[in-house]
Amino acid sequence: MTAVEALLAWYARFGRTHLPWRRTRDPYRIVVAEFMLQQTQVERVLPLYTAFLERFPTLAALAESDAGDVMRAWRGLGYNSRAQRLRLLAQTVVTEHGGEFPRERDALLALPGIGPYTAAAVRAFAFDQSDVALDTNVRRVVGRLKFGSEFPLHATDRTIGTAAAAMIPPGRGHDWNSAVMDLGATTCTARAPKCLLCPLATHCAAGGGDPGLFASAVVRRAPAVAVPFIQTKRFLRGRIVDRLRDVPARDVVALEELQRDLAEVVPRDRLAEIPGLVETLVAEGIVAREGGGVRLKS
């Protein structure tokens, strides 16, 4: 059995085919999932994805929506500028493509909020094209499989992407990408790979004939030290937007009131950063100034 055959057989048996974005070929629903899944765990996305699509069931519904309503529906996902870009994307597809997502890569890349990864994901998951959605999991699995241990790295993203594309059977872009992502998320993980359970163990360059030895070497690597989330600007931005989500549409909150409200959830030594971050959110079009206060932009 070839590596690709083993991978697809494993996916048919163990893949996360229950995920709602795996059960559709609707490019709108796939794009919503891709925007939500950017730097956000699947478990967090699942209930919010369902609720968002209940609120905005079609591309046209999202395109016609109020920006503040979209931002409120995005609560719990973070990276709030994604919601703004998603709404603009819907409007552009409606006005420039008659409400139909284009299939061509260049046309997708011309849309707001669509980069190389998302364009490849739409082509693979919605249209079954042989594109590689080169996320962290795909990069790690194919890198290990074809080029050996990633410590030190033996291949560039371009090299890994080329090798990955050569593996995709014609018309199986959806299942191949899904399978590699699931294998990376559940088995060929970054810090604790389950090499002895991997369907690709006998094909893997990283195993070198002893997958157990490779797994042990990966586990021994010291984990990276992360900055606590509460110390990041993303934390403060999220608290500001969350507070404004609770304000009725088109009502405003004075900046001083906003700071007083956030004093309950933000470290006191960081309250002074709030005015500057509000200005950034205004510049990004997420927050609007009105009179002496601020609100989510409509």
Nearest one of 179, 177, 203, 198 to 188, comparing CA atoms: 198
Rounded to whole angstroms, how far apart are CA atoms 183 and 144?
Answer: 12
- Residue-wise burial string across 165-191, b where 16 or more C-beta atoms lie within 10 A, e elsewhere: bebbeeebbbbbbbbbbbbbbebbbee
Q: Which two tokens stand for residue 260?
A: 């007083």
Is 34 a known active-site residue? Answer: yes
Of the listed 34, 64, 150, 257, which one is catalytic?
34
Rounded to whole angstroms, how far apart are CA atoms 148 and 162?
Answer: 16
Q: Which two tokens stand for residue 180?
A: 């590699």
Distances 119 to 48, 83, 97, 132 between C-alpha atoms, Å: 23, 17, 16, 10
Nearest one of 17, 112, 101 to 58, comparing CA atoms: 101
**In this structure, are residues 258 and 228 in contact, taking their beta carbons and an 8 Å threshold?**
no
* 130 DSSP assignment: S
* 287 DSSP assignment: E
**In this structure, are residues 97 and 88 in contact, taking their beta carbons and an 8 Å threshold?**
no
Question: Which of the residues are catalytic?
Answer: 34
